[in-house]
Each structure stands twice: as C-alpha cells, then as structure tokens.
Structure 1
Amino acid sequence: MIKKLRRELTLILLPFISIVLRTLGRTIRWQNRYDFERDRGKIYALWHGNALGLALFGMDRGIVVLVSRFRDGDIADGILKRLGFETVRGSTENGKEEKGGRTAILKLMELLKSGKNVAITVDGPKGPAYKVKEGVVFLAMKTKAKIIPACVKFEKFVRLNTWDNLIIPYPFTKGWLLVGKEIEVKESNELKEKLKELEGELLRLESLS
C-alpha cells in the first residue's frame, strides 16, 4: 500500500522532477561533446546504473529509449519524454509476450531502419547488473545497426545502494562521456560471442577512471 502511494505521488510530481533533472543537466560541466547528428540508426548500449547520467548528456536529441512495461517504467517514461527523448515500451527479450517483447523489437527495428538512434540499458530492467542480455545483440543482427557502448563519468556523484548502483551527479560537477568501439553483428556471428564482446567493452569503459 505504501509503495503504491509512493508511486502515485511520484507520478503526480513528474513535471517537477523533470524540471529539476533538466536544471541539473544544464549545470554539469561536460568536458567533451558528441556529435549525435553523425549517427543514423545506431544502438547506444549502456548499463542501467548509467541511465540518468547519459539521459542528462543526451537531452533533446530525439533519441529513442526502450522503457520497460514494469510499473516503475511509467515513471521513467514520463521523465524521459519531458527530457526530449522518444520511448518504446517493452523488452528486447525475444518471445516475452507479457513484457511486450515481440512488439517492442518490431517497433525498434522499424525505427532503426528509418535512421533513428536507440538507447538500451542492456542489463535492465531488473538485472543482474553488468550482465548484457541477448536482446540487444539480436536486434543489431536483424537490423544491421552498429552498437555503440557508452558510459558517463563524473568528478562528484552519489552511487545509490540499488541493484544497478545508479549514479546521480552533483550539480556543477565535471562530466565525461566515454564511448567504446562500435560493434557490428553479422548473421554469421555467434550471438554469445558478440554478447561477450559488448559486455567486455562496457566493463572496460566502466573501469576507466
């Protein structure tokens, strides 16, 4: 009951929360930039714990974000739309009809082929943390879209004691976007090998200081 009330209150406060996050994003002193305009039909792969930081970096770029159908997804969906993202609700887990898996994959395939860039938290929505799920690699193979591993680093931040170790930056801190090598998935590739490659690259970026 308390959890339900807390969620409903959060939904009511979404406009205020979004303004606070947008303001926070504008205070961050980003030390590097990224030309989103050069990307067409790319998949940005990130850990769930980096979701907020990357959202603050990529505001108002029209990036499509995959958001879960879990109840907490309603909150993320509302915030992301107010930060200038597009959203698709569902999962990349093939065959998971109850999670909107097939519908989400078909929609993402359509958007990627039209040139839209898509961001996916590859260990979400419920973990385990730092373990890439196969859906993103399957999606890349079917669409021939290249995967761009990415994460953010902040000089000062809070790391929450949540399953994903969510990072929240301090206002006016320095921030860096780290981007790994693009990963291409061909029909002839073993999905598990490409999954390991993506996971290794994301872990490498996470380990950089």
Structure 2
Amino acid sequence: MSLRRRIETSKTVAAGLGALGWGYLAFCDRNTDWQVEGLTDLQDALSEGPILLVMWHSRSVMGAIHWPVADGPLSSLYNRSPVGRISGAVQRRAGLQAVEMSRTRSNRSASREVLRRFRDGVSIGMTGDGPLGPAHEVLDAPLDWARTLGAPVFCYAFSTTRGRQLNTWDKMLVPLPFGRGAKVFARFDGTLPRRATGAELEATREALRCFMDTTTARADALVGKAAES
C-alpha cells in the first residue's frame, strides 16, 4: 500500500506524520527571533467573543503554532487529502480543534459542528484561497462564514529570513530555524451584510484580498524582505 493510501485510510499514520511535522515547526518557532504585530488587538477582540481568522495558504504553515490558545480556542478547518490530514494532526498537536472538511461531498454536518462550537465561544480559522487555490484569490467559503457569523475578521501572516518556498501551487513558505521572523495579526474593517447583493459580495472579496496581501507584505517588511509577487 502506498504512503498516500496509508495516510488516507489510517488516522494513526496521519497522526504520526503530524507529530513529526509539529515537532519540526515547534523547533523552528522556538529558534526564531520573532517580531509580533497586532496580537494585543486580537486578544482584545477575543476577550469579547470568537472571531474568524483567515490567511493565505502560502503563509499558513505556522498559523496553528502562532494562534494564542491561552486567549481562546480555535476550530481550524482542513480537507481529507493526505496533506490535509497531516495538517489536521499538526493543528490538533498545537491545541486547536481541527475539523475535517470534504472536497467532494456535502459538508453540512461539519459546518453545523463548527457553528455549534462558534456559539460556544470557539473562533474559526481557514485559508482564504482554500486547499487548492487559485493562489491569493479569496474563495466563497470565508465570505460565507463572515456573512453567517457576523464576527470580527482577522488576517494572519508570517515571514522569516530563513525559509524555503516549496514548488507547489501556492509557493508555500516553510520556515528554517535560527533566523528572524515576523507574525502579524490585523483586523479587517470591511463588513458583509447577511443578505449581501452580488455587487457587495464581489466588493468585499476584492477588499479582503487586498487586505490579506497587505498583511502578508507587512510581515515581509518587518524582516526586511520584498513582498512576494
């Protein structure tokens, strides 16, 4: 049986690989000199209730470790692909409440579970461009959740002077230890009515895309890097 098939069928295999991934990322986190921006604003918002956290897939690998678990729980979403299952295992290791979402089937049951958790005070975290892209394009899911929840929306990004961009659809940034890093949380001021028109939806999509790009560029600027293209 191939490794891919083992990951798809065995929670034990996915959990084991997730433990290795979490160990590596935690090692990088401990051995990076981090500059943090916006954490106090996030903590202030969490003191009043749960929020919706969005990030680009390319800058998501450190998101679980950088979430301030002590200030409030986070229900993270992942898909059931091999990479997604490993990511879910990493998220659980970091103390998040990971929820598996299907790429091909109805997620009605999973969505109800996420909503139940939100009403119990659990924030929701997701990638703006989903598990498959297109890269840096805001998909419908974060807009739908923002409209349904009516909660504050925060964007997250990290950058580092020592890292490697993978040859993947999103050019994912994976950190290396012993560098300088930046992690940024920024509150999105745009709003989306529950019964938004098509024009309002598209205007908010573009505003959120620009804001997420700006948040990512800010993280890059804090470590002296040019913004990614």
Band of TM-score, shorter chain: 0.7 to 0.9
Q: After superposition, what is the alpha-carbon deviation per residue over 1:58-111, rounded to whole angstroms, capped at 9, x for unaligned? A: 2645321111133332111111111211111116xxxx7x44432233222222
- Of 105-114 and 158-167, more deviation after overlay is shown by 105-114
Confirm whether residue 20 of structure 1 aligns to residue 24 of structure 2. Answer: yes
Task: Give the 3 Å change call, closer, same or farther, for CA 25–186 of structure 1 in structure 2.
Answer: same
Q: Which amino acid aligns with 1:32?
A: V
Aligned partner of 2:193 among 186, 196, 203 = 186
2:210 maps to which residue? 200
Aligned CA-pair RMSD: 2.5
TM-score by length of 2: 0.77
C-alpha distance in 2 between matches for 1:6 and 1:70: 11
- Of 37-46 and 1-10, more deviation after overlay is shown by 1-10
Aligned partner of 1:65 among 65, 76, 83 = 76
Q: Which amino acid aligns with 2:33?
A: R
Give the alignment of 1:128-147 within 5 angstroms: 128-147=134-153
Structure 1's unaligned 5+ residue stretches are none
Q: Is the 8 A contact 2:4 2:82 kept in 1?
A: no
Confirm whether residue 54 of structure 1 aligns to residue 60 of structure 2. Answer: no
C-alpha distance in 1 between matches for 2:163 and 2:13: 23
Cα distance, 1:2 vs structure 2: 4.8
1:168 maps to which residue? 174
TM-score by length of 1: 0.84
Cα distance, 1:176 vs structure 2: 1.4
Task: Give the 3 Å change call, closer, same or farther, for CA 103–5 of structure 1 in structure 2.
Answer: closer
Task: Give the 3 Å change call, closer, same or farther, for CA 99–123 of structure 1 in structure 2.
Answer: farther
Q: Which amino acid aligns with 2:193?
A: K
Q: Which amino acid aligns with 1:46?
A: M
Q: Which amino acid aligns with 1:49?
A: S
Confirm whether residue 80 of structure 1 aligns to residue 86 of structure 2. Answer: no
2:52 maps to which residue? 43
Q: Which amino acid aligns with 1:199?
A: R
Q: Which amino acid aligns with 1:17?
A: G
C-alpha distance in 2 between matches for 1:109 and 1:119: 12
- Of 111-120 and 34-43, more deviation after overlay is shown by 34-43
Q: After superposition, what is the alpha-carbon deviation per residue over 1:147-174, rounded to whole angstroms, capped at 9, x for unaligned? A: 1122112122111111111111121222
Pairs aligned (count): 204
Task: Give the 3 Å change call, closer, same or farther, for CA 155–109 of structure 1 in structure 2.
Answer: same
Confirm whether residue 104 of structure 1 aligns to residue 110 of structure 2. Answer: yes
Q: After superposition, what is the alpha-carbon deviation per residue over 1:100-143, rounded to whole angstroms, capped at 9, x for unaligned? A: 43223322222223221111011121111111111111111111
Q: Is the 8 A contact 1:69 1:99 kept in 2?
A: no
